[in-house]
A and B are shown apart, each in its own frame.
Chain A
Amino acid sequence: MRIRSSIAFAFGLAACGAAQAAPQTGGNAFNPGVSLVLNGTWASYPTEAGHRQMPGFMLGEDAGLPPQGFGLGESELDLASNFDNLFTGFGAISFHESHGEDTAEVELAYLQTIAMPYGLQMTAGKFFSAFGYQNARHAHVWDFVDQPLVYEAFLNTQYSDPGVQATWLAPTDTYLLFGAEAFSGDHYPAGGAGHSGNGASSLFMKMSQDVGDSSTWFAGLSYLSARSVNRPSLGSQDPDFSDASQLDGPVFTGTSDIAGADFVWKWAPHGNFYEKNFVFQAEYLHRSEKGSVSANPCPVGSACTGGSAYSGNASGWYVQGAYQWMPQWRFGLRYDRMSSDNTVAGLYQPAQLLGNAFTPHRESAMIDFSNSEFSRIRLQFNRDESGLKPANEVMLQYIVAMGAHPAHTF
């Protein structure tokens, strides 16, 4: 409800601006930039792979593969505009279709200052956390169809929540950005908006330099602390859909602390990205979780019967590269690996947390073709050993964008 009202507020403001301005143009000149991004998939894999299970990990509901066969992936309607001379804003309604069910949700709705002094910037609303490198990247600019395994397992593919962010950009030639965020903590890896609705917070720093006129490196350190009150997780296979899981796994109450380091190197001869480029990207994430797990949600504020004490250390990393060897054509390779070390003390011993000797891993290869900046078709192959049964996965994807010209962050 809170989210819905904030976006309505945001759009209301934008509409006001449009109505007041320039009557001779009929008000259209001040309409926000509108774009529609469509993302569709076709996927083939054994049903066990779709029923996502990663021994050692309690997964959030978004972890997993696109549906078998045809699917409408994360498509979104974006609106972007300056509200006035102080604020700019962005709204994204995302919609996707899964097993005959259409869902639409407010993916992003935030306003951001553009005129604060001393390199300060504030963001408020619902937005992707600046944790890590891959977290804040929209699905249509990913280099692969799916997120790295560690993002699926630790961040439910991408962490966003209502909250605020403050950043400070240092007045140096080297790009040096420091930031902090506070979130409600409604979404995985948080849950239940604990701590009176201030359930998650983060700290991050990012830096970057150009090397000659052909290369740029970018590195970041991040820390995310999330509280959970009865956070659900994926469990048994969904009887209605053979390739999906139900949200009936262990329920977690406690804290998750995630630290991450990321590194990106982009290369293009003389900075001419259009002709040829190479992007290298790697991240390492470590998580420690402490609390209790139970089969059913526990009443808030009282001792939980039938639960077990749980503490776990887990880490995951991926390394990937995408090479555009000629205009329009790219190929990419990615390697993912995870490990976990959990201690569960009590009678309740969920299968999800018994995987200390297991190391989920995956190899991926993709090739994509972009007819223009506005359309891309991709073929991807995964050798997925994140579950107990290794699987071969083939995915075909299209991403098209219409409307306002997309401008992408680094």
Chain B
Amino acid sequence: MKSLRYLILALVLPFSAPAFADLNAFSCEPHWTSLLAEVGGSHVSVTTASGAFNDPHFIQARPSLISAMRKADLVVCNGADLEVGWLPVLMQQGARDTVQPGQPGFLDASQSVQLLQVPTSVDRAQGDIHPYGNPHFQTDPRNIGAVAGELAKRLAQLDPSNAADYQKRYADFKGRWDAALAKWQQEATPLKGMKVIAYHDGWVYMQNWLGIDAVGFLEPKPGIPPSPSHLAELLAKIKGEGVAGIIYTPYEDEQAPEWLADRGGIPKAVIPDTVGADNDKDLFQFYDLMLAQLLKLHGGGK
């Protein structure tokens, strides 16, 4: 009887939840949720499809996300095929005409940045590679800044009555972001030239930003889990090349990094690739955390 009451409550509550926001946004990854909060403020209510503990390649096309898509006025995603395994299903079943690719309601963030590692030829024997280039570009905060301008434009276009406010919020964010970038650049000086081994080849933008050198990956091919023989090769590399440490995300299995760090006698560090892995509440705190973890690694893990 009690459980029936809960069931009824669970069914009715969502109906009665009033919508205060002017726009409903669907964010594929938490960094866009945070950016939407910066630029959109209370005008925008956001549903986020993934979290810091999810591999963004493998999100289940949960029906709740279809319901969110149905109501969305704006969809913001990394794009470049990062979400190709699940977003098309949500798009099709949510069947919202105004957020289909090509519409103003669909913001493909990869269109606003310069993608790296665009392959000249693609073959799945190379692993699960992305034909448009590496889609993990949020690991360089300069790319967030590049998308912010486009986001402000879209918000103003979709919700003209608040256009002035979006512009104001964007200008305010831009000022704080540029200051933070300068601060991070300074803090990260010791990281230049640091050699690391990463779990997945998903850090090229961070490497590019900070001058870090990824000399190997735990995955023998993108999307293929580490194998013992490949780990043995990496171990030899650690001995030979002066690798500072091993980095992996909160959603990657820590067994292989742990094994390799132990055997190689080097530290390892969890580097989140989006907002929310720890106490970081927004984009600023996320990059603070990323840098703190990398600096710790550089200092020998202490």
Contacts and interface: CB of A to CB of B under 8 A. Distances in A.
B85 A408 contact: yes
A242 interface: no
Interface residues of B, number: 48
A6 B66 CA distance: 29
B97 interface: yes
A121 B88 contact: no
B36 to A, nearest CB: 18
B63 interface: yes
Contacts of A271: 50-51, 53-54, 59-60
Contact of B85 (A114, A116, A121, A373): A373
A264 B92 CA distance: 22
B224 A218 contact: no
A165 to B, nearest CB: 12
Contacts of A169: 66-67, 70, 93-95
Interface in A267-301: 268-275
Contacts of A146: none
Contacts of A371: 224
Interface stretch (B9-17, B109-117, B139-147): B9-17
Interface in B70-94: 70-71, 81, 84-89, 91-94
A174 B11 contact: yes
Given A114-B97, A119-B70, A172-B67, A274 B92 contact: no
Interface string A163-177: 000000111111111
Contacts of A170: 67
B193 interface: no
Interface in A172-196: 172-177
A312 B228 CA distance: 58
B88 A407 contact: yes
A327 B199 CA distance: 14
Interface string B278-293: 0000000000000000
A85 B100 contact: yes
B62 A407 contact: no
Nearest to A271: B54
Nearest to B86: A407
A209 interface: yes
A285 B93 CA distance: 26
A98 interface: no
B172 interface: no
B61 A408 contact: yes
Chain A CB within 10 Å — which of B89, B95, B223 has the most? B95
B95 A327 contact: no
Contacts of A328: 225
B14 A173 contact: yes
A270 B55 contact: no
A114 B67 contact: no
A408 B58 contact: no
Nearest to B61: A410
Contacts of A216: 60, 62-64
B251 interface: yes
A82 to B, nearest CB: 8
Contact of A210 (B53, B54, B64, B94): B64
Contacts of A121: 93, 95
A206 B62 CA distance: 13
B262 interface: no
A372 interface: yes
B95 A210 contact: no
Contact of A275 (B14, B67, B81, B251): B251
A206 B63 contact: yes
B5 interface: no
B14 A405 contact: no
Nearest to A117: B97
A353 to B, nearest CB: 39
A172 B61 contact: no
A173 B51 contact: no
A407 B14 contact: no
A406 B251 CA distance: 22
Given A114-B97, A172-B14, A266 B60 contact: yes
A313 interface: no
Nearest to A121: B95
A175 B81 CA distance: 26
A274 B58 contact: yes
A25 interface: no
A115 B127 CA distance: 35
A81 to B, nearest CB: 11
Contacts of B187: none
- Most chain A CB atoms below 10 A, which of B67, B84, B94: B67
A246 interface: no
Nearest to B16: A172
B57 to A, nearest CB: 7
B51 A115 contact: no
A173 B64 contact: yes
B193 to A, nearest CB: 32
Given A270-B53, A271-B54, A327-B225, A114 B127 contact: no
A374 interface: yes
A206 B51 CA distance: 26
B53 A272 contact: yes
Contacts of A116: 95, 97
A112 interface: yes
A409 interface: yes
A405 B81 contact: yes
B226 to A, nearest CB: 10
Contact of B97 (A85, A213, A272, A327): A85
Contact of A114 (B54, B59, B95, B251): B95
B81 A115 contact: no
Given A169-B94, A172-B67, A218-B63, 17 more contacts: A113-B95, A116-B95, A117-B97, A171-B70, A174-B11, A176-B67, A209-B10, A216-B62, A270-B51, A271-B59, A272-B54, A272-B58, A273-B60, A275-B55, A327-B225, A405-B84, A407-B86
15 contacts: A85-B100, A119-B95, A174-B14, A209-B64, A216-B64, A270-B53, A272-B58, A274-B57, A326-B253, A327-B253, A372-B124, A405-B85, A407-B86, A407-B89, A409-B61
Interface of B: 10-11, 14-15, 17, 50-51, 53-55, 57-64, 66-68, 70-71, 81, 84-89, 91-97, 100, 102, 124, 127-128, 223-225, 251-253
